[in-house]
């Protein structure tokens, strides 16, 4: 069973540019969540999607956006990049909360460096 796939693994961008990160969830998982991880702030929730609808959004500026496609794949976009956006971006997929094997399965992340 394939895991959660995030692409690309590493990315270097210049301030002011925009970036799109991709996440393919485990087959059958319809919920996808995104997190930003930095040494100073830890794991911060960005957004959650379920069946192409954003269910929840964290406390991030509007430069951060996302979407989910009908095949449950998800993308997140960051526009007008700032140095502080440098982080490990993690995507996780899950079954519904009531499932017996409920839990988040994370991808390996995309390491974004803004210079």
Partner 1 sequence: SQQGEEDPQALSIQEGENATMNCSYKTSINNLQWYRQNSGRGLVHLILIRSNEREKHSGRLRVTLDTSKKSSSLLITASRAADTASYFCATDLTSGSRLTFGEGTQLTVNP
Cβ closer to partner 1: 45 or 75? 45
| Distance set, CA 9 to CA 6, 51, 90, 95 (Å) | 7, 25, 10, 24
For partner 1, the binding residue among 26, 48, 78, 93 (CB under 8 A) is 48
Judged by CB under 8 A, the stretch of 13-21, 63-71, 77-85, 90-98 that binds partner 1 is 90-98
* CB 47 to partner 1: min, Å: 9
Nearer to partner 1, 18 or 86 (CB): 86
Q: Is 107 in the site for partner 1 (CB under 8 A)?
A: yes
State yes or no: residue 1 binds partner 1 (CB under 8 A). Answer: no
Distance between CA 94 and CA 105 in Å, rounded?
A: 6
Q: Binder to partner 1 among 25, 35, 36, 64 (CB under 8 A)?
A: 35
Phi-psi region of 100 (alpha: psi -120 to 50; beta: other; left: phi over 0): alpha
Q: Which residues bind partner 1 (CB under 8 A)?
A: 4, 6, 33, 35, 42-43, 45, 48, 50, 55-56, 58, 88, 90, 92, 97, 102-109, 111
């Amino acid at each position: 069973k394939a895991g959660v796939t995030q692409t690309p693994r590493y990315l270097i961008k210049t301030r002011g540019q925009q970036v799109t990160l991709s996440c393919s969830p485990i087959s059958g998982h319809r919920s996808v969540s995104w997190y930003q991880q930095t040494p100073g702030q830890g794991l911060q929730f960005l957004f959650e999607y379920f069946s192409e609808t954003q269910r929840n959004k964290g406390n991030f500026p509007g430069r951060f956006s996302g979407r989910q496609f009908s095949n449950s794949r998800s993308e997140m976009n960051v526009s007008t990049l700032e140095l502080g956006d440098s982080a490990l971006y993690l995507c996780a997929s899950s079954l519904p909360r009531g499932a017996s094997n409920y839990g988040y399965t994370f991808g390996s992340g995309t390491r974004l460096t803004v210079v």
